[in-house]
Amino acid sequence: MTAESPDAAPRPSRGRRPRAPRTAGAALIAVVVLVVGGGLLYDVIAVRTGHPARRWRAELAHQLAARHLDDIRVRIGAGGAVLFGLWFCWLAFVPGLRRWLPLRRPGTVIDRAGVAALIAARARELPGVDAVAVRVRRSGTRVTVSGAADPAGVQRELRAAIARVPLAGPHQLDVRVRRSSVPER
């Protein structure tokens, strides 16, 4: 949930990023724990009530006792565990939701594609603009305009356009105008 608790909401939290709920990652771990833990629990109880152990558990115990630490499979498995561990820690501590940019009003966000669409629509209306490419990153926006437009005028208009998006954090605008004697496409 991206929600702040109600008593924390009135705090003037400029630029507080929403945090992804991470449901898929937690579901993956839950399924693995359920399968491994449930299977192990079933087998341990079966053995305690007088049944023979399943083949997979006897084989697993044998392999763990037979393979040494410098075995290539053990090394690969340990390396995989390290990579998965790093990935899960990354998922646990990083906010996520990179496509949403926080706005000044707490709890309000806008998606980067939306900002790009607004800027591109404004740029296309300007005189002398043939083609527009907009790239919105989290820290800034790069607009590449091709055509016979006046660079200073384009820059001024687009600066006004991005000022209408009340972004919470600092956001740079980088406007490049390319002369194209032959209209593109």
Partner 1 sequence: MSRSAVNRCMLAVAGLVLLVGGVLLLAGGFDLYGRIGLGMPSWWPLGTPGRPVVSTASRTRWTDRAWWWPTVIGVLVLLVAGVLWWFFAQLRRSGPSTVDLPVPQGSGVALRLRRRALAEAVETETLALPEVARARVQLTGDRRGALLRAVVRLRASGAPDELVERFHTGPLANARTSLGLPDLPVDLRIRGAAPRRKSAPEPPRVL
Kindly identify the residues of this chain, within the stretch 12-71, that bind partner 1 according to CB under 8 A. Answer: 18-23, 25-27, 29-30, 33-34, 37-38, 40-41, 44-45, 48, 61, 64-71
Q: Which of 100, 143, 145, 154 binds partner 1 (CB under 8 A)?
A: 100
Strands 100-102 and 140-147: unpaired
Q: Which of 51, 56, 59, 107 binds partner 1 (CB under 8 A)?
A: 107
Rounded distance between C-alpha atoms, residue 107 and residue 89, angstroms: 26
CA atoms in the 13 A half-sphere facing the CB of 17:
14
Would you say 50 or 179 has its CB closer to partner 1? 50
Q: Which stretch binds partner 1 (CB under 8 A): 49-57, 146-154, 163-171, 176-184?
A: 163-171
Q: Which of 15, 85, 127, 140 binds partner 1 (CB under 8 A)?
A: 85
Rounded distance between C-alpha atoms, residue 17 and residue 89, angstroms: 19
Query: Tokens representing 21?
Result: 């709920």
Amino acid in the structure at residue 157? E
